Chains A and B, each alone.
Chain A
Protein backbone atom coordinates (compact mmCIF):
# COMPACT_ATOMS: atom_id res chain seq x y z
CA UNK A 1 0.00 0.00 0.00
CA UNK A 2 2.72 2.45 0.91
CA UNK A 3 5.14 1.24 -1.73
CA UNK A 4 4.24 3.07 -4.91
CA UNK A 5 4.24 0.65 -7.83
CA UNK A 6 3.17 0.75 -11.43
CA UNK A 7 -0.40 -0.23 -10.51
CA UNK A 8 -0.90 3.07 -8.69
CA UNK A 9 0.06 5.10 -11.73
CA UNK A 10 -1.93 2.96 -14.17
CA UNK A 11 -5.10 3.06 -12.07
CA UNK A 12 -4.72 6.83 -11.77
CA UNK A 13 -4.41 7.09 -15.52
CA UNK A 14 -7.58 4.98 -15.91
CA UNK A 15 -9.41 7.46 -13.65
CA UNK A 16 -8.18 10.40 -15.75
CA UNK A 17 -9.10 8.56 -18.94
CA UNK A 18 -12.63 8.00 -17.63
CA UNK A 19 -12.90 11.71 -16.79
CA UNK A 20 -11.76 12.50 -20.33
CA UNK A 21 -14.38 10.18 -21.86
CA UNK A 22 -17.06 11.73 -19.65
CA UNK A 23 -16.01 15.26 -20.66
CA UNK A 24 -16.04 14.24 -24.32
CA UNK A 25 -19.57 12.88 -24.07
CA UNK A 26 -21.27 15.47 -21.89
CA UNK A 27 -19.96 18.81 -23.15
CA UNK A 28 -21.78 20.66 -25.87
CA UNK A 29 -19.15 23.37 -26.07
CA UNK A 30 -16.64 22.38 -28.74
CA UNK A 31 -13.73 23.63 -26.63
CA UNK A 32 -14.96 21.45 -23.75
CA UNK A 33 -14.65 18.45 -26.05
CA UNK A 34 -11.10 19.52 -26.90
CA UNK A 35 -10.32 19.69 -23.16
CA UNK A 36 -11.64 16.11 -22.80
CA UNK A 37 -9.28 14.97 -25.56
CA UNK A 38 -6.37 16.66 -23.74
CA UNK A 39 -7.24 14.71 -20.57
CA UNK A 40 -7.28 11.43 -22.51
CA UNK A 41 -3.90 12.21 -24.07
CA UNK A 42 -2.44 12.97 -20.65
CA UNK A 43 -3.72 9.63 -19.34
CA UNK A 44 -1.93 7.93 -22.23
CA UNK A 45 1.24 9.88 -21.44
CA UNK A 46 1.19 8.81 -17.80
CA UNK A 47 0.87 5.20 -18.94
CA UNK A 48 3.80 5.45 -21.33
CA UNK A 49 6.11 7.01 -18.75
CA UNK A 50 5.00 4.71 -15.89
CA UNK A 51 5.57 1.57 -17.95
CA UNK A 52 8.89 2.96 -19.14
CA UNK A 53 9.96 3.52 -15.54
CA UNK A 54 8.74 0.31 -13.97
CA UNK A 55 9.19 -2.17 -16.80
CA UNK A 56 12.26 -0.84 -18.60
CA UNK A 57 13.86 0.93 -15.66
CA UNK A 58 13.77 4.38 -17.23
CA UNK A 59 16.14 6.72 -15.42
CA UNK A 60 19.09 4.40 -14.86
CA UNK A 61 22.22 3.73 -16.89
CA UNK A 62 21.50 1.35 -19.74
CA UNK A 63 17.76 1.75 -19.45
CA UNK A 64 15.50 2.29 -22.42
CA UNK A 65 13.64 5.57 -22.72
CA UNK A 66 11.33 4.74 -25.62
CA UNK A 67 8.28 5.40 -23.46
CA UNK A 68 9.43 8.93 -22.74
CA UNK A 69 10.08 9.56 -26.44
CA UNK A 70 6.52 8.43 -27.18
CA UNK A 71 5.23 10.74 -24.46
CA UNK A 72 7.06 13.62 -26.17
CA UNK A 73 5.39 12.72 -29.44
CA UNK A 74 2.02 12.72 -27.64
CA UNK A 75 2.68 16.25 -26.37
CA UNK A 76 3.69 17.40 -29.87
CA UNK A 77 0.61 15.84 -31.45
CA UNK A 78 -1.66 17.31 -28.76
CA UNK A 79 -0.29 20.79 -29.39
CA UNK A 80 -0.74 20.41 -33.16
CA UNK A 81 -4.24 19.02 -32.73
CA UNK A 82 -5.27 21.85 -30.39
CA UNK A 83 -4.07 24.48 -32.88
CA UNK A 84 -5.97 22.95 -35.80
CA UNK A 85 -9.09 22.27 -33.74
CA UNK A 86 -9.23 25.87 -32.49
CA UNK A 87 -8.82 27.20 -36.04
CA UNK A 88 -11.77 25.03 -37.07
CA UNK A 89 -13.80 26.22 -34.07
CA UNK A 90 -13.10 29.85 -34.97
CA UNK A 91 -14.43 29.23 -38.47
CA UNK A 92 -17.41 27.43 -37.00
CA UNK A 93 -18.09 30.33 -34.67
CA UNK A 94 -17.82 32.84 -37.50
CA UNK A 95 -20.36 30.85 -39.52
CA UNK A 96 -22.91 29.96 -36.85
CA UNK A 97 -22.23 32.61 -34.16
CA UNK A 98 -22.16 29.77 -31.62
CA UNK A 99 -19.73 27.12 -30.43
CA UNK A 100 -22.46 24.58 -29.62
CA UNK A 101 -21.61 21.32 -31.40
CA UNK A 102 -25.31 20.45 -31.68
CA UNK A 103 -25.57 23.16 -34.32
CA UNK A 104 -22.87 21.63 -36.49
CA UNK A 105 -25.34 19.64 -38.58
CA UNK A 106 -25.03 21.43 -41.89
CA UNK A 107 -22.49 20.85 -44.59
CA UNK A 108 -21.62 22.87 -47.64
CA UNK A 109 -19.95 21.14 -50.54
Chain B
Protein backbone atom coordinates (compact mmCIF):
# COMPACT_ATOMS: atom_id res chain seq x y z
CA UNK B 1 0.00 0.00 0.00
CA UNK B 2 2.81 2.37 0.86
CA UNK B 3 4.44 1.63 -2.45
CA UNK B 4 1.28 2.56 -4.32
CA UNK B 5 1.07 5.75 -2.30
CA UNK B 6 4.64 6.62 -3.20
CA UNK B 7 4.05 5.95 -6.87
CA UNK B 8 0.98 8.13 -7.05
CA UNK B 9 2.40 11.22 -5.39
CA UNK B 10 6.07 11.91 -5.11
CA UNK B 11 5.64 14.72 -2.63
CA UNK B 12 4.62 12.66 0.37
CA UNK B 13 4.83 15.42 2.94
CA UNK B 14 4.86 14.15 6.52
CA UNK B 15 4.63 10.49 5.50
CA UNK B 16 7.98 10.63 3.72
CA UNK B 17 10.29 10.33 6.77
CA UNK B 18 8.11 7.55 8.18
CA UNK B 19 8.23 5.68 4.90
CA UNK B 20 11.96 6.21 4.52
CA UNK B 21 12.82 5.08 8.04
CA UNK B 22 10.57 2.04 7.71
CA UNK B 23 12.18 0.95 4.45
CA UNK B 24 15.67 1.84 5.70
CA UNK B 25 15.17 -0.24 8.84
CA UNK B 26 13.85 -3.18 6.81
CA UNK B 27 16.78 -2.92 4.40
CA UNK B 28 19.51 -2.50 7.04
CA UNK B 29 18.17 -5.24 9.31
CA UNK B 30 17.66 -7.78 6.53
CA UNK B 31 21.07 -6.95 5.00
CA UNK B 32 22.79 -7.58 8.34
CA UNK B 33 20.72 -10.70 8.97
CA UNK B 34 22.15 -12.03 5.70
CA UNK B 35 25.58 -11.60 7.31
CA UNK B 36 24.57 -13.20 10.60
CA UNK B 37 22.60 -16.22 9.43
CA UNK B 38 24.45 -19.44 8.62
CA UNK B 39 21.62 -21.10 6.75
CA UNK B 40 21.75 -20.42 3.02
CA UNK B 41 17.96 -20.60 2.58
CA UNK B 42 17.44 -17.97 5.29
CA UNK B 43 20.07 -15.81 3.63
CA UNK B 44 18.11 -16.00 0.38
CA UNK B 45 14.88 -14.99 2.16
CA UNK B 46 16.56 -12.02 3.84
CA UNK B 47 18.03 -11.04 0.49
CA UNK B 48 14.49 -11.07 -0.91
CA UNK B 49 13.36 -8.66 1.85
CA UNK B 50 16.36 -6.42 1.21
CA UNK B 51 15.68 -6.35 -2.53
CA UNK B 52 12.04 -5.46 -1.91
CA UNK B 53 13.07 -2.62 0.39
CA UNK B 54 15.47 -1.30 -2.26
CA UNK B 55 12.56 -1.35 -4.71
CA UNK B 56 10.54 0.73 -2.23
CA UNK B 57 13.41 3.20 -1.94
CA UNK B 58 13.46 3.55 -5.74
CA UNK B 59 9.77 4.46 -5.56
CA UNK B 60 10.61 7.12 -2.95
CA UNK B 61 13.34 8.49 -5.21
CA UNK B 62 10.77 9.05 -7.99
CA UNK B 63 12.16 6.21 -10.12
CA UNK B 64 8.98 4.20 -10.67
CA UNK B 65 10.19 2.36 -13.75
CA UNK B 66 13.39 1.33 -11.99
CA UNK B 67 11.44 0.16 -8.95
CA UNK B 68 9.30 -2.05 -11.17
CA UNK B 69 12.40 -3.41 -12.92
CA UNK B 70 14.03 -4.05 -9.55
CA UNK B 71 11.05 -6.05 -8.33
CA UNK B 72 10.60 -8.00 -11.57
CA UNK B 73 14.19 -8.72 -12.54
CA UNK B 74 15.91 -8.81 -9.16
CA UNK B 75 13.31 -10.07 -6.72
CA UNK B 76 11.60 -12.16 -9.39
CA UNK B 77 14.47 -13.39 -11.55
CA UNK B 78 17.87 -13.25 -9.92
CA UNK B 79 16.56 -14.44 -6.59
CA UNK B 80 14.77 -17.42 -8.16
CA UNK B 81 18.08 -18.24 -9.85
CA UNK B 82 19.85 -18.15 -6.49
CA UNK B 83 17.20 -20.34 -4.86
CA UNK B 84 17.53 -22.84 -7.72
CA UNK B 85 21.29 -22.77 -7.21
CA UNK B 86 20.78 -23.52 -3.52
CA UNK B 87 18.46 -26.41 -4.29
CA UNK B 88 20.81 -27.91 -6.89
CA UNK B 89 23.96 -27.67 -4.81
CA UNK B 90 23.02 -28.85 -1.33
CA UNK B 91 22.13 -32.35 -0.24
CA UNK B 92 20.06 -31.11 2.68
CA UNK B 93 18.45 -27.68 3.00
CA UNK B 94 20.01 -27.04 6.40
CA UNK B 95 23.54 -27.32 5.17
CA UNK B 96 25.81 -25.11 7.25
CA UNK B 97 29.43 -24.14 7.11
CA UNK B 98 31.07 -23.18 10.35
CA UNK B 99 32.97 -19.92 10.21
CA UNK B 100 35.58 -19.20 12.86
CA UNK B 101 34.91 -16.35 15.24
CA UNK B 102 38.14 -14.49 14.45
CA UNK B 103 37.25 -14.60 10.75
CA UNK B 104 33.94 -12.93 11.53
CA UNK B 105 35.71 -10.35 13.70
CA UNK B 106 38.24 -9.49 11.00
CA UNK B 107 35.48 -9.15 8.41
CA UNK B 108 33.39 -6.97 10.73
CA UNK B 109 36.35 -4.75 11.58
CA UNK B 110 37.17 -4.34 7.90
CA UNK B 111 33.56 -3.54 7.00
CA UNK B 112 33.24 -1.00 9.83
CA UNK B 113 36.51 0.67 8.81
CA UNK B 114 35.31 1.00 5.21
CA UNK B 115 31.97 2.25 6.54
CA UNK B 116 33.68 4.91 8.70
CA UNK B 117 35.95 6.14 5.93
CA UNK B 118 33.07 6.35 3.44
CA UNK B 119 30.84 8.31 5.81
CA UNK B 120 33.75 10.61 6.69
CA UNK B 121 34.36 11.24 2.99
CA UNK B 122 30.64 11.82 2.34
CA UNK B 123 30.23 14.35 5.15
CA UNK B 124 33.21 16.32 3.85
CA UNK B 125 32.08 16.36 0.22
CA UNK B 126 30.04 19.33 -0.95
CA UNK B 127 27.06 18.46 -3.13
CA UNK B 128 26.40 20.35 -6.34
CA UNK B 129 23.36 20.29 -8.55
CA UNK B 130 19.90 21.70 -8.34
CA UNK B 131 18.07 19.47 -5.86
CA UNK B 132 15.00 17.35 -6.51
CA UNK B 133 12.48 18.68 -9.01
CA UNK B 134 8.82 17.96 -8.48
CA UNK B 135 7.24 16.03 -11.31
CA UNK B 136 4.94 17.94 -13.59
CA UNK B 137 2.11 16.89 -15.82
CA UNK B 138 3.26 15.51 -19.14
CA UNK B 139 6.48 14.05 -17.78
CA UNK B 140 6.82 10.43 -18.82
CA UNK B 141 9.72 8.76 -17.11
CA UNK B 142 9.64 5.61 -19.22
CA UNK B 143 9.81 7.72 -22.38
CA UNK B 144 12.82 9.59 -21.06
CA UNK B 145 14.62 6.36 -20.14
CA UNK B 146 13.80 4.87 -23.53
CA UNK B 147 15.15 7.95 -25.32
CA UNK B 148 18.33 7.91 -23.24
CA UNK B 149 18.87 4.18 -23.86
CA UNK B 150 18.46 4.54 -27.61
CA UNK B 151 20.48 7.73 -28.06
CA UNK B 152 23.14 8.55 -25.48
CA UNK B 153 23.53 5.00 -24.21
CA UNK B 154 22.95 3.16 -27.48
CA UNK B 155 26.34 1.43 -27.51
CA UNK B 156 26.19 0.18 -23.87
CA UNK B 157 22.59 -0.90 -24.52
CA UNK B 158 23.58 -3.02 -27.53
CA UNK B 159 26.62 -4.38 -25.71
CA UNK B 160 24.38 -5.39 -22.81
CA UNK B 161 22.05 -7.15 -25.25
CA UNK B 162 24.95 -9.13 -26.74
CA UNK B 163 26.26 -9.82 -23.22
CA UNK B 164 22.93 -11.31 -22.17
CA UNK B 165 22.91 -13.56 -25.25
CA UNK B 166 26.48 -14.71 -24.54
CA UNK B 167 25.63 -15.31 -20.88
CA UNK B 168 22.54 -17.32 -21.80
CA UNK B 169 24.46 -19.58 -24.20
CA UNK B 170 27.45 -19.82 -21.87
CA UNK B 171 25.40 -20.69 -18.79
CA UNK B 172 23.39 -23.31 -20.69
CA UNK B 173 26.62 -24.82 -22.01
CA UNK B 174 28.41 -24.89 -18.66
CA UNK B 175 25.48 -26.19 -16.65
CA UNK B 176 24.65 -29.03 -19.03
CA UNK B 177 24.96 -32.62 -17.89
CA UNK B 178 28.29 -34.18 -18.65
CA UNK B 179 28.32 -37.43 -20.62
CA UNK B 180 29.44 -40.12 -18.23
CB pair B88–A90 under 8 Å, yes or no, is yes
Q: Pick from A26, A57, A65: contact of B141, CB below 8 A.
A: A65
Question: Interface on chain B toward A: helix, strand, loop, or mixed SS?
Answer: helix
Chain B CB within 8 A of A22 CB:
yes
Chain A CB within 8 A of B179 CB:
no
CA–CA, A56 and B6, complex, Å: 20
Least distance between A82 CB and chain B CB atoms (Å) = 5
Q: Pick from B63, B78, B97: contact of A71, CB below 8 A.
A: B63
Known interface pairs A11-B119, A31-B82, A34-B82. Does A61 touch B136 (Cβ–Cβ under 8 Å)? yes
Chain A interface size band reads: 35 or more
Against A, the Cβ 8 Å flags (1 = close, 0 = not) of B32-74 are: 1011000010011001001100100110111101100110011
Interface residues of B in 133-153 (CB under 8 A from A): 133-136, 138-139, 141, 144-145, 148-149, 152-153
CB pair A18–B115 under 8 Å, yes or no, is yes
Chain B interface size band reads: 35 or more
CB pair B82–A54 under 8 Å, yes or no, is no
Q: Which residues of B contact A56 (CB under 8 A)?
A: 129-130
CB pair A87–B51 under 8 Å, yes or no, is no
Known interface pairs A60-B136, A94-B178. Does A21 touch B111 (Cβ–Cβ under 8 Å)? yes
Chain B CB within 8 A of A104 CB:
no
CB pair B133–A60 under 8 Å, yes or no, is yes
Q: Which chain B residue lies CB-closest to A15?
A: B28
Q: Which residues of B contact A59 (CB under 8 A)?
A: 10, 61-63, 132-135, 139, 141
Q: Which residues of B contact A52 (CB under 8 A)?
A: 61, 63
CB pair A57–B10 under 8 Å, yes or no, is no
Q: Which residues of A contact B172 (CB under 8 A)?
A: 87
Against A, the Cβ 8 Å flags (1 = close, 0 = not) of B107-121 are: 110111011001100
Against B, the Cβ 8 Å flags (1 = close, 0 = not) of A58-72 are: 111111011011011
Q: Which chain B residue lies CB-closest to A24?
A: B107
Contacts beyond the supplied A57-B131, A73-B153: 6 A-B pairs with Cβ under 8 Å: A14-B118, A14-B119, A55-B130, A56-B129, A62-B133, A69-B153
